[in-house]
Structure 1
């Protein structure tokens, strides 16, 4: 029998999706599930984007250019200029989602057995992308006790080797909701320059920042032209996850030339999705004002309710729409599956993402879950009620 590759075997299951079979079985038994496991916003996609697809006069659905349509890239450049990020359309390559952007980036800056440093917990697919390219992730742990703050720069320096090619951050953070300050970004810039590393920033949650904090892009730092790579996407910004349109932004011409070869090998990003994405950039700014206000309220309701459960610890997220919650259980993988298989209250239960999948260091995060507060406020309140009841019953049985 032919063998599966080692990297295929090593690729982990998604902590966000691996419990789907248990959820589907529960649904077939008539149980209603509140999905706190996945960052699929319930916010409506801007009508201007939907109308652009419905009302277009395309007669031949042809390829776009491999780097994305010029019109869309120009509108993206204008959008970034509004966010005090000085780039032009030639600094942008459009990709099929941020996932492809990350895969292309890792492939273009590393060789097998090279290393990328990532503060953990981090978006689980970063590890999958690294494994796909034969690259080693070197984690530096941030903790809930320290509000998932950026680890000390000295901790980064301790793990830099001749194999280190990049530092990868998510800002605002998935799964933590942490927002790195201008000072944090400046420190990482100095580190990247000192050791001649790429600094990659996944900035897809840029708009979702709370409590008066401001997002600061790595591309706003001077002197980073050869080192900074920004990953972006419309998925969360405009609630367009299914469009699968992302981009890579950099001023490093050699890097972009290399990325372009990969972009050519997959031909082009999807045409209809680019039409929708281009139109989405015309969304009025009040859209984000309303969305940020809604997420702030949801966050506050969620965190306040979680604080009332004995033994639960939660960091109040500063951005994105996720939070890490520490529970009074030994293994949240087992607990999350138990909630789907064996627990319900009034025929309702929860689906959460066990946080161990967001760490690569063994035996860390086993007591934590990630919650995506993408449900309406009423459903969030009910979800925490269910979690409280589930914890009580689980502790009685175990």
Structure 2
């Protein structure tokens, strides 16, 4: 094979140049990805170089040497960095291989038709060289693409941290006036880089970590028209939701199939308000029930419980001062009275409805509530006492919930 190539080298070089011209023209006409990336001269030079490298690989293989693949690997890395689809890149390599074979056969036929059987014997070698080159291109492309994806993910995480934690980002301190610290962008700049509008309808959702780390992935599969940017952390999965025209309730509908505990912030209108929304969503999560019924808590639907959750020291005083005598009871008595009180509160003070939920007689509920009144010194007919008991009960429930 080496001897055949040497005999036709000059004529083959001319034919390869023509083949490179033809393939460059056809590629630019048929592949928009290439047309958007490269000009004709650059693409033609790249194709010409690859065809010559393939011929040299054919010669090396005839000597028992492996083809040089450094250029193929470099091409795969470069095109991945530039964002050219791998299919486009491989299609050009395959088309180049076919054109090269045609140039070889035409050149040998023109030079010495009797040498064609010897050329045909080298066909397998040529396709083997092409396979090695395309494998090298694919491998380096995928490695570069993975590295690029990791970098993009890291950059997006940094930008989300700026929005969710304040201008200083995660663990950083925001400077006065909402401007960024010396090492990071301000909220408006971070939002712009993430493609968020200057004004809109935003919310933040905080999903309790369940060990799988896949709530964001599952939510993404059913997000529909909602745009959600997720930030995965060890203790929670945080979603920045761009609601558009959808109501805030749609966030609960999004999370309902996932069976996760979550807290949702109120609506905010600018990216600069997202750090506050994140804090409020985390607070709402602390009020979300552990089981039974909807497990997504919208902050504005549970402000009293959120008030308790936001003040740990006062919550402790509420538990002790208001419900201390109940909490001092044996475990079963304590559980019975607290469950009855919580159910009665959830039923808006209806003893009949509470009895139905608890599967007991109305008088049983009344007796348990009367005992709560006796132990706490507070009357369920006094609105001020009901507020105290409701807040204290919320404090007890939140303390019992696993962090």
Q: What TM-score do you get using the length of structure 2 for normalisation?
A: 0.20
- Report the structure number with the largest CA radius of gyration: 2
Q: What TM-score do you get using the length of structure 1 for normalisation?
A: 0.21
Asked which structure has the greater RCO (Cα within 8 Å, sep 6+), the reply is 1
Which structure: greater helix fraction? 2
